Amino acid sequence: MEVAEFARVVAVGLGRAVLHLQAHDAAPYRDTILHACLHNMVYDTQVEYGREQYLFDLISLTGEADFYRERLCAALPATHEPRDRDQIAALLRLFAQAGDDASRAALYGAFTAASGEEAAALGDRIVELDGVSGLLFVARHLTASDCKPGCVGNLVSLAKEKDGLEVVARALAEAGATDARVAAFAAAA
């Protein structure tokens, strides 16, 4: 497949790119895959899901996961376009779920260095990754002014999906008893 055709297929999110990489060398497509990882090409986010799993599958087929992870880790703190930043964070979450400590550290580091809505958006990925322990970490760092309406409730819902209502409620109550920031976060929830 020509590089231009591969780029078009990836931009649209077609499975043809995955099938092609299963049978062909990925080296000619390295720049195309990296560009797709760093720039969210979803046309309409209201009707189309994120492509992080698709891109992660492409990366896995390249045999160069470290190359892509290193560039994603470097790009996350420097990217301020919300859709691109969210996709990069989602990819790093997948790397971290697969046991990659550098990706986990990059995600947590970008969160603690960010503020406002950037921090809140990165908090979603941390809670998806680590459930209630991620929620408590996020709660200790976010303030009410960092979140849009519904942000705190969304973070709690993500933790409930991963760990269950009882675990989340107990953890927030216990941590809130000794930490005023967690108590304020729990009250907002």
The predicted-structure confidence for 58-87, as pLDDT tens digits, reads as follows: 999 999 999 999 999 999 999 989 999 999
- pTM score above 0.85: yes
Question: 23 and 98 in one domain?
Answer: yes
Task: Give dist(CA 11, CA 22) in Å, integer.
Answer: 18
Question: 96 and 60 in one domain?
Answer: yes
Domain region containing 133:
116-189
Checking if the pLDDT of 45 tops 80, the result is no
Question: 140 and 67 in one domain?
Answer: no
Q: Average pLDDT in the 123-136 region?
A: 94
Number of domains making up the chain: 2
Our measurement of the distance from residue 154's CA atom to the centroid of its chain's CA atoms, rounded to an integer in Å, reads 15
Question: 91 and 31 in one domain?
Answer: yes
* Tokens linked to 110: 């970008």
- Sign of the CA dihedral running 46, 61, 129, 93: negative
Domain end residue (candidates: 66, 92, 113): 113
